[in-house]
Amino acid sequence: MPDIFMVQEPMALAGTLHRGLVSDAFEVLAQGLGISHLRLASVAGITQSTLARRRQAGRFRTDESERIWRIGRVFHTAQRVLGSEEAARHWMDAPRAHFEGRTPLSVCDTEPGAMAVEQLLQQLEHGVFA
């Protein structure tokens, strides 16, 4: 997983996102999650035609970068809590009653949804369930 998806100094991260994530980070995230580029783009709110243009240009816009980073941040947290990329991949892609039958990955299409996934992961990590 690229370091960009790990917690880092906020201003450095802001600078990276303002410059735009490189398309390689998107590729690595899709591969790590075990999903297609089109599915990751869909969760990130990026159309197929925009994805093609950004991959050709080599960088995403700031708003797109933030959405991609959000998904990567949650996936990184899931890996840390669940112990492996494979466990995190499986957990992120399985429907959960906690999310009304949606997958944690699909809930990450918004920041509040990503926060809810991270909250559930924290509960799993600490053995606290509401």
pLDDT grade for 23, boundaries at 50, 70 and 90: very high
pTM score of the predicted model: 0.93
Number of domains, the chain: 1
The confidence score (pLDDT) of residue 129 equals 67
Could you list the residue range(s) of the whole structural domain that residue 122 is in? 3-126
Residue 72's closest CA among 35, 100, 120? 35
Residue 43's closest CA among 92, 3, 5, 91? 92
Identity of the amino acid at 25: A
Per-residue pLDDT of 50-85, as tens digits, reads 999 999 999 999 999 999 999 999 999 999 999 999
Per-residue pLDDT of 70-125, as tens digits, reads 999 999 999 999 999 999 999 999 999 999 999 999 999 999 999 999 999 999 99
